[in-house]
Amino acid sequence: MAGEQPRIPNVPREEWTDAAREVFAFFGEPGAYENGSSKNMSMALANHPQLAKAYYTFGEHVLRTTTIAVRPRELIVLRTAWHLKCAYEWHYHVGYALNAGLTMEEISAIRDGPSSPVWDGKDEDRAVLSAVDELVASSKICDATWAQLTRHFDKRQIMDLLFTIGNYVMLGWAAGAMGVPVEDDQDVIGFDLKTRSGKPPLATLRPKETA
C-alpha cells in the first residue's frame, strides 16, 4: 500500500456520529470527541463504531490490565510487526519500546529474531521472541519453547502473552489490508530504524500513559 490511497480512509466529518466520536475518544486523547483523533487507525476504525469499540475494549486489556510486563509486550509487538511488515505498528512501538527501557541494539536485534547473540543471557526475551515466531509460522508452540515460557511466566501471564500476539497479528492484518498510513506529522521510523528526519528515534508514551 506504500504510496497508494487507503482502501478504508478516515471516516469523513459528515459521518462523525456520536458512536464514531466515542471511538475517537476511547483512549482519552484530549479534544478527540470534538475534533477527531490524531491517529489514523482510530479514524479508520470509526467507520464501523460497533467493531471499533468491541476491539478497543479487548485492546485496553492488552494495553493496560494485562498480567505481562511492558518489556515482553513490546518485544511481541515489534517482532509481530516485523513479520507482518506492518509499518504502522512498527513506527509507534519503537518509541514505546524505548520508553519501556529497551535499547536501540535490542530493538535492532528484534528484526533478527531469537537467534541473535544480543539475547544471550536474556532467556525470557528469547522465549518471547521464539513464541511469536512459532505462532506466526505454524500456529503452534513447540515443547521446548513452552517449557522456557513456563520458567518466566505463570499460567495467566502465558495466556495474556498468547492473546497479545494474536491481537497484534490481527491489528497488523487490518492496518495492512486497509492501508492505514502513519500520520503525516510523525517522524516516521522505518524498519531500518531510520527516521524521516534523520534524527534518532525518540521514546514515546503509549495511549493513557503518563510520564
State the virtual CA torsion across 204, 206, 207, 208 in degrees, nearest 10.
Answer: -100
Q: What is the pLDDT of residue 211?
A: 59
Q: φ and ψ at 189, to 5 degrees?
A: -100, 115
What is the mean pLDDT, run by run of 10 residues, along the chain of 211 residues? 78 98 96 97 98 97 95 98 97 96 98 98 98 98 98 98 98 97 96 96 81 59
Look up the domain containing 143 and give its range.
70-178
Whether residue 41 is found in the same domain as residue 97:
no
Provide the grid cell at 183.
500520520
DSSP annotation of 194 reads -
User: What share of residues in the chain are helix, strand, coil (percent, to 5)?
Assistant: 60, 0, 40
Does residue 198 sit within a domain? no
Q: What is the pLDDT of residue 210?
A: 62
Does residue 184 sit within a domain? no
Overall number of domains in the chain? 2
E strand or H helix at 177, and its extent? Answer: helix 155-178
Whether residue 22 is found in the same domain as residue 86:
no
Q: What is the pLDDT of residue 28?
A: 92
Does residue 166 sit within a domain? yes
Q: What is the pLDDT of residue 1?
A: 43
Q: What is the pLDDT of residue 208?
A: 65
Q: What is the pLDDT of residue 178?
A: 97
Long-range contacts of 134-140 (CB under 8 A, 24+ apart): 135/162, 135/165, 135/166, 135/169, 136/80, 136/83, 136/84, 136/165, 136/169
pTM of the model: 0.94
Angle between the N-to-C axes of helices 49-60 and 155-178, in degrees from 0 to 180, rounded to the nearest 10: 150
Q: φ and ψ at 97, to 5 degrees?
A: -65, -40
- CA distances for 82 relative to 14, 55, 65, 98, 117, angstroms: 36, 22, 25, 16, 18
Whether residue 53 is found in the same domain as residue 108:
no
Whether residue 107 is found in the same domain as residue 167:
yes
Does residue 123 sit within a domain? yes
Q: What is the pLDDT of residue 2?
A: 46
Per DSSP, the three-state class of 189 is strand
